[in-house]
């Protein structure tokens, strides 16, 4: 889908839909298709990325408090970027496995 003025519609989802997926992204409960659309959207929409970043930082800070790791200083923005890269890698792996399974099924 085409980027519209003001960042209201990007990829396959709009900002309102992206906002509803933030919590599920953080909990890692999005389907592969939802994850891909969400990542495509936040990659081009700074407003939605900022919202994800805020929720992600709060979530990670609470996790750190629960784990009581004293003296640990974390770069939460870097943790988010790592999580996004991991998610992209997961999508590529799922697509590749799907391709291989179809390939082997057809050539049996």
- Per-residue pLDDT at 98: 83
Identify the pLDDT of residue 93.
93
Q: DSSP for the chain? A: ----GGG-EETTEEHHHHHHHHHHHHTT---HHHHHHHHHHHHH-HHHHHHHHHHHHHHHHHHHHHHT-TT----HHHHHHHHHHHHHHHHHHHHHHHHHHHHHHHT-
* Structure confidence at residue 1 (pLDDT): 40
Q: What are the pLDDT tens digits along the chain (108 aa)?
A: 444 444 444 458 999 999 999 999 999 999 999 999 999 999 999 999 999 999 999 999 888 877 766 666 678 899 999 999 999 999 999 999 888 888 888 887
Contacts of 34 (CB under 8 A, 6+ apart): 21, 24
């Amino acid at each position: 889908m085409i980027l519209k003025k003001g960042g209201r519609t990007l990829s396959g989802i709009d900002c309102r839909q992206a906002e509803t997926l933030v919590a599920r992204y953080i909990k890692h409960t999005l389907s592969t298709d939802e994850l891909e659309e969400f990542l495509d959207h936040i990659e081009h929409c700074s407003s939605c990325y900022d919202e994800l970043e805020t929720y992600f930082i709060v979530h990670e800070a609470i996790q750190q408090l629960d784990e009581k790791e004293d003296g640990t200083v974390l770069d939460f923005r870097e943790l988010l970027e790592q999580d996004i890269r991991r998610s992209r890698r997961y999508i590529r792996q799922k697509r590749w496995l799907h391709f291989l399974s179809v390939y082997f099924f057809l050539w049996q």
